[in-house]
Amino acid sequence: MILARVCDAATVDDCGRSVSSHGDVSQGGPLAKCRAAGHHGGMGVGARRVLWRAGRALAIAVGVRPVVRPDPALETLARICDDLHRLDLEIARLMVSDRRTPALYHRLRAASLAYDATLRDACGALGVELVSAPPFDGAVRIEVEAGLAAAGLSW
């Protein structure tokens, strides 16, 4: 059995208890027993809240401003636009590449499928209705791109 000395108050001189009175690691953890005995965290929830507010007010007073987190939906839409742009460039690069490029057909097919899946994600994020499920043929892809452009998405 391994005994763990967890808190400074766990000596006979400080609180009149021995280390073994706090329990050992194998029996649910000594830290929980120390907290239950009142040795740790002597500050209540209300006092912590007051200190938090005071610290925040002090930070604002000295010029530190809280970080405004961007809307996750906008981050997702920005990521989708970046992916569409990257995949569009990849498809264009593969279309003009040398026909002797290894696995050209498979690379074009993979890039096209990824582009179609990203178009589907963009339609879902903007609420644009899809005419069919991916993979898209040329005409359907143009319709989907036009619908996204009409919704205000540009890539």
How does pLDDT run across 135-154, given as a tens digit for each residue?
899 899 999 999 999 999 98
The whole-number pLDDT of residue 99 equals: 85
Torsion angle (degrees, nearest 10) of CA 19, 20, 22, 25: 100
d(CA 76, CA 131): 23
Average pLDDT of the residues in 38-67: 78
Assign 29 a pLDDT band (cuts: 50, 70, 90).
Answer: low
Task: Quote the pTM value.
Answer: 0.54
